[in-house]
Each structure stands twice: as C-alpha cells, then as structure tokens.
C-alpha cells in the first residue's frame, strides 16, 4: 500500500448561472463575479449563457436561488446625469 496522500480532486471550472432576481428579471452571472447580463426572457438568457460557456469552457447551471444583480438597474441620479454631460 502506498502512504502517499491522494491528490485533491480537481477544482471545478467556472460556472455560468442563469436565473431570476427577486424582481423577476432574467440574469446570467458567472461564478467569478466578472460577467453579468440582463435579459427579457429565459430563452434569451440561456442562449447568451451557452455562447459564453463555449468561450470560457464553463458549465451552465440554473441558479438555485434568486440572483443578486451586480449592476444596479434603478434610475440614474440627477447628479450622475450632470457629471456625464460635464465630461
């Protein structure tokens, strides 16, 4: 018998999650927090996720819980509008 330790199982690659936020928007996010897309339908979100899966060699999974948007979708403050015009 060998006394060498077993190697750690391979780490899983990136995962792309497809799901909805609490407001019902369809989102696609990666497990690294670097990718996010907002879509009008489940099928549009899945098409995007599949395209990204091929690029990043990732797995696509349905989110087990509501996703939290990384980018806020609320209205832009008046101050933010003024700053962008001043630039």
CA angle 35, 71, 54 (to 5 degrees): 15
Which of 19, 10, 1 lies closest to 61, judged by CA?
19
Single pTM value for the model: 0.71
Residue 24, Ramachandran bin (φ over 0: left; ψ between -120 and 50: alpha; else beta): left
How far apart (Å, rounded) are the C-alpha atoms in residues 60 and 12? 12
Q: Residues 30-81: pLDDT tens digits?
A: 999 999 999 999 999 999 999 999 998 999 999 999 999 998 877 777 665 5
The yes-or-no verdict on residue 22 having pLDDT over 70 is yes
What pLDDT does 20 receive? Answer: 97
20 vs 13, which has greater pLDDT?
20
Q: Alpha-carbon distance 61 to 78, whole Å?
A: 38
Query: For the chain, how many residues are written?
Result: 87
């Amino acid at each position: 018998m060998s006394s060498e330790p077993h190697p750690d199982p391979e780490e899983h690659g990136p995962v792309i999650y497809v799901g909805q936020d609490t407001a019902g928007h369809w989102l696609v996010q990666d497990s690294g927090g670097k990718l996010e897309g907002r879509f009008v339908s489940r099928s549009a979100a899945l098409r995007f996720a599949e395209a990204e899966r091929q690029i990043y060699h990732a797995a696509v999974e349905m989110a087990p819980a509501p996703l939290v948007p990384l980018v806020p979708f609320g209205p832009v403050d008046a101050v933010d509008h003024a700053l962008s015009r001043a630039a």
